[in-house]
Amino acid sequence: MKELELKYGCNPNQKPACIYLADGGDLPLTVLNGKPGYINFMDALNSWQLVSELKAATGQSAAASFKHVSPAGAALGIPLTETDRKIYFVDEGAELSPIACAYIRARGSDRLCSYGDWAALSDVCDAATAMYLKNEVSDGIIAPGYTPEALEILKTKKKGNYNVVQIDPAYVPAAAEHKEVFGITFRQGRNTYVPDEASLENIVTKNKTLPPEARADMLTALITLKYTQSNSVCYVKNGQAIGVGAGQQSRIHCTRLAGNKADNWYLRQCEKVLNLPFREGIRRPDRDNAIDVYTSDEYEDILADGIWQQTFTRRPEPLTAEEKKAFIATQSGLTVGSDAFFPFGDNVERARKSGVQYIVQPGGSIRDDNVIETADKYGMVMAFTGLRLFHH
**What distance in Å separates the CA atoms of residue 100 and residue 35, rounded to the nearest whole number?**
24
User: What span, in angstroms and rounded, lies between the C-alpha atoms of 44 and 67?
Assistant: 10
Rounded Cα distance, 142 and 291, in Å: 29
Q: Is 391 among the residues known to form the active site?
A: no
Point out the catalytic residue in the list 33, 40, 163, 231.
231
- Please say whether the beta carbons of 127 and 147 come within 8 A: yes
Element at 370 (helix H, strand E): helix 368-377
Do residues 140 and 116 make contact, with C-beta atoms less than 8 angstroms apart?
Answer: no
Report yes or no: 233 and 339 within 8 Å, Cβ to Cβ: yes
Residue among 350, 357, 347, 361 at smallest CA distance from 378: 357
DSSP structural state of residue 229: P
- Taking phi over 0 as left and psi of -120 to 50 as alpha, with beta for the rest, 281 belongs to left
Helix (H, G, I), strand (E, B) or coil at 299: coil
Q: What is the DSSP letter of 169?
A: T
- Bridge partners (DSSP) listed for residue 262: none
Q: In this structure, are residues 260 and 246 in contact, taking their beta carbons and an 8 Å threshold?
A: no
Measuring CA to CA, how many Å separate 202 from each of 45, 210, 223, 256?
Answer: 31, 11, 18, 26
**Catalytic-role residue among 2, 159, 275, 392:** 392
Q: Is 178 a catalytic residue?
A: no
Q: Is 392 an annotated catalytic residue?
A: yes
Continuous segment of H or E residues that includes residue 242: strand 240-246
Catalytic residue among 67, 157, 226, 261: 67
CA atoms within 13 A on the CB side of 21: 14
Cα dihedral 103/106/107/110 (nearest 10): 170
- In sequence order, what DSSP letters do the residues of 179-233 get, joined into one string? EEETTEEEEEE-------GGGG--B-SS-----HHHHHHHHHHHHHHHTSPSSEE
Contact assessment for residue 19 and residue 40, using Cβ atoms and an 8 Å cutoff? no
Cβ partners under 8 Å of residue 364, min gap 6: 341, 384, 386
Instruction: Compute the distance between CA of residue 176 and CA of residue 326 in angstroms, rounded to an integer.
Output: 50
Catalytic sites, residue numbers = 67-68, 231, 392
